[in-house]
Structure 1
Amino acid sequence: MSGVGIGQRPENRRQRAVKALWTGIWLVYLSAPVSDLLHGGHAFGVQVLGWTGLVAFVVWYMLLLFRTGRGDRTNLVLGSLAVLAAQSTVLALTLGREWLVLFVYVSIASGAALPLSMARWTIPGASALMTVLALVVPEGTSFIGALLIPALLGGFAMTGVRELIRTTVALREARATVAQLAANEERLRLARDLHDLLGHSLSLITLKSELAGRMLPAQPDEAAQQVADIEQVSRQALVDVREAVTGYRRPRLAAELAGAKVALSAAGVVAELPGEPDLTGVPEDSEAALAWALREAVTNVVRHSGARRCVVELLDRQTLDGAVLELSVEDDGSGGPGPGPGPANDPGNGLTGLTERLEKAGGALEAGRIRQGFRLVARVPAGSSTDVGTDVGSGA
């Protein structure tokens, strides 16, 4: 960042140079006191004191503006403003009306260095003190109109600019936070996708590898077929991972049903699966969420359950909230993430990610042990009423 805003302390040499240049431009309005010292006919001693006082005022004013920020103590800022006001008062009473312009700088410094809750009092206070001195200093009343409005407007303008800069900084920080959250969400999505994709594919590869190993001595042809299946699954897993990384993959429920039949059959599990569903009108997010749910459920059946039978049902239900598509996967195994019926008490990464997927699609997940096995139920909004077909067919 090349510049630094009002109310912010410069953090490097470039910022200090930019702020010094910007602040120094406005010192041109001190030409009245300078002209008074050069052409006002003051004695040499008075000129020396006047130059000393003017230089001290400018140095103190610049230090106050440059030290503002990073949690400065309000009492210190108020004390610095009091010093500036005292210098202005002494110089105006001693050298004349031209020095009343110093109160404009006191007012501006108040707006730049103090929070609005205090600046709204100190700015009128500096302006009022200038007005009183203008009534006391010879011919000072002619300067009231020319200095009072700049003092008030300049001071409150600084408060507005300072608050605007703070708001801009806050918005930039909020934008950076949103970007970080988006990046975290994308990493979480990718982690879920890779877990679901690789968990299913690697489980199937492991099962087919074991099966090929058992067949190899006596059944080389069948073993070769299993190896070919392994190659096909590996290639598909590679494609799925690439699509997941690029964020374009949307699993289809029909494809997952076909894959579930292959995986369950390879594991020696008797599968009862519905026919190809008609998902006309079902939102893509809902279908993708159910497809992920089916993949995760079948992967858990194959890897953890030790089941001999698995039943998959797909139902279209009408609820008070509208049509709901319900996927149920039930097995008779002994494994499962949680004890007892009802929601799982200790879900793994797969069920946790699946819950998040379903919630994003507006659905919900129930998973838990039943009397003889484990049951997972995923529900998503079905959009318009659909005819998904509830007939269950058997597979090997």
Structure 2
Amino acid sequence: MDLPSDLPRPASRHWRVTGWLLAAVWLFFLNIPLLAALHQPEVWRRVVGAVTLLAFGVLYVGVFQWARGQRQQHRGIPAGHAWAAVALLLALGLAGIPGTGGDWLTTLVFVAAAAVFLLPNRQALVVVALAALTPPVTAALVPGWEAEGTVVFAVLLASFAMFGVTRLAQRNSELQAAQQEIRRLAVAEERARTARDLHDILGHSLTVVAVKAELAGRLLDLDPDRAATEIADVERLARQALADVRGTVGAYRGMSLAGELAGARSALAAAGIAAELPDAAPELPAERDELFGWTVREGVTNVVRHSGARRCEIRVEPGLVEIRDDGRGPAAETGSDGHGLVGLRERARRLDATVTVGRRADGPGFLLRVALPMDRGTGEREE
């Protein structure tokens, strides 16, 4: 079963094993205190040193893996848990002093690295500074302990390296989150586009089918030949709608202004609405031709379905397309845009075009206009 795209996918077994190895490989540097513990003359010191170092190594790897999992799941690391882990590592290092002696200072390298991986930058910097100062301070205070310059260098180097690892892990986590968001938005956009296209296609086609079927029913007794013609048109429109739906699903459906003008002429005639349409569509760029085609389809669908008009005029220019009628229009009934007009506005926005919907200013009726900016059209001013 596939996981939802917005959920983090579990890491493969290969990467889980790799993560454990990356954490455990650094434990090699605990060989110095371990050898010191194994060479202790008293058995109890050997036991204390070996057991505390073993517990230290297990805890370090476990903490590293836990924090790594938190980052992969895009979760924060609780401050209390982080400080508890650092304190417990330090306590185990100190507990091993009877067996490891001054070589316990090697564990500070791991304490500093864990602090950088777990804590915020300022807090981690304080821990790293204390870990780096501890070897010279303890050498001055405890007889027999030598100042380990290599430990100081190792603390600083390990902290710097872990800082780089932490930043890399953070960037990878952010990148994964961004990729998941992009996938989610792409799916949402595709669903919205498909829903918009299906609405526009079926809304227009089924409206014309309903009008022609109603007309055929009225003409069945009065004019059987005309009724048969209308029924044939219903069949043709149904097949065309089916082809459009298949084209939408297959992402290869096209839209043209010329085709929509021809369909508008047929739809308006079947609805008994006098039509004034241009004889031919102008030559337009592909994107503009498609936008104007959608405009004609949406406008004529609303005229046939909602307006109650007796006359409809379609005007097309290189920079705009208008559909005017003398009816009441959908705004008077619903008071808001339908799904088709919402989809049309989204398409127009891609070409910086403006959509005007509302009552005509020059008389009774309804107007739908889509106009491109002057630099996208012919440069002529809109009326």
Aligned counterparts of 1:183 and 1:95: Cα–Cα separation in 2: 59
- The 1:245–1:361 alpha-carbon spacing in structure 2 relative to 1, beyond 3 Å, is farther
The Cα offsets for residues 267-312 of structure 1, whole Å up to 9 and x where unpaired, read as 1111111221322xx4322221111011111011111111101111
**Corresponding residue number in structure 1 for 2:23:** 23
- Aligned pair count reads 363
Aligned counterparts of 2:349 and 2:377: Cα–Cα separation in 1: 21
The Cα offsets for residues 287-344 of structure 1, whole Å up to 9 and x where unpaired, read as 211110111110111111111011111234xxxxxxxx111111111232247xxxx9
**Corresponding residue number in structure 1 for 2:112:** 107
Aligned counterparts of 2:138 and 2:13: Cα–Cα separation in 1: 40
Q: Which has the higher contact order (CA 8 A, sep 6+)?
A: 1
Q: Is contact 1:93-1:133 (8 Å) kept?
A: no
Deviation at 1:87, TM superposition (A): 4.4
Deviation at 1:218, TM superposition (A): 3.3
The Cα offsets for residues 128-171 of structure 1, whole Å up to 9 and x where unpaired, read as 11232244453623x31x22222111122112212211211211
3-state SS, counterpart of residue 371 of structure 2: strand
**Corresponding residue number in structure 2 for 1:266:** 270
Matches within 5 A, 1:79-158: 79-89=84-94, 91=96, 95-136=100-141, 138=144, 140-141=146-147, 143-144=148-149, 146-158=150-162
- Which residue, out of 179, 193, 200, partners 1:196? 200
Matches within 5 A, 1:167-186: 167-186=171-190
- Which residue, out of 336, 349, 372, partners 2:364? 372
3-state SS, counterpart of residue 268 of structure 1: coil
In structure 1, runs of 5+ residues without a counterpart are: 1-9, 317-324, 391-396
- The 1:191–1:154 alpha-carbon spacing in structure 2 relative to 1, beyond 3 Å, is same
The Cα offsets for residues 49-80 of structure 1, whole Å up to 9 and x where unpaired, read as 33344344334434543443454432442244
Q: Is contact 1:278-1:386 (8 Å) kept?
A: no
Deviation at 1:102, TM superposition (A): 1.4
2:324 counterpart letter in structure 1? E
- The 1:34–1:260 alpha-carbon spacing in structure 2 relative to 1, beyond 3 Å, is same
Matches within 5 A, 1:352-371: 352-370=342-360, 371=363
Deviation at 1:353, TM superposition (A): 1.1
- Percentage identity across paired residues of the two chains: 38
Aligned counterparts of 1:380 and 1:221: Cα–Cα separation in 2: 45
**Corresponding residue number in structure 2 for 1:336:** 330
**Corresponding residue number in structure 2 for 1:33:** 33
2:218 counterpart letter in structure 1? R
Q: Is contact 2:351-2:372 (8 Å) kept?
A: yes
4+ long deviations beyond 6 Å: 10-16
Q: Is contact 1:336-1:369 (8 Å) kept?
A: no
RMSD: 2.9
Aligned counterparts of 1:128 and 1:314: Cα–Cα separation in 2: 81
In structure 2, runs of 5+ residues without a counterpart are: 1-9
2:365 counterpart letter in structure 1? G
Q: Is contact 1:120-1:156 (8 Å) kept?
A: no
Deviation at 1:15, TM superposition (A): 7.4
3-state SS, counterpart of residue 98 of structure 1: helix
The structure with the greater share of residues assigned to helix is 2
Matches within 5 A, 1:274-313: 274-279=278-283, 282-313=284-315
3-state SS, counterpart of residue 331 of structure 2: coil
Q: Is contact 1:310-1:331 (8 Å) kept?
A: yes
Q: Is contact 1:328-1:377 (8 Å) kept?
A: yes
**Corresponding residue number in structure 1 for 2:3:** none
3-state SS, counterpart of residue 313 of structure 1: strand
2:146 counterpart letter in structure 1? G
Q: Which shows bigger deviation, 166-175 or 87-96?
A: 87-96
Q: TM-score, normalised by structure 2?
A: 0.85
The Cα offsets for residues 116-138 of structure 1, whole Å up to 9 and x where unpaired, read as 23222211221111232244453
**Corresponding residue number in structure 1 for 2:41:** 42
Q: Is contact 2:48-2:99 (8 Å) kept?
A: no
Matches within 5 A, 1:234-273: 234-273=238-277
Aligned counterparts of 1:18 and 1:271: Cα–Cα separation in 2: 73
Q: Is contact 1:254-1:276 (8 Å) kept?
A: yes
Deviation at 1:12, TM superposition (A): 10
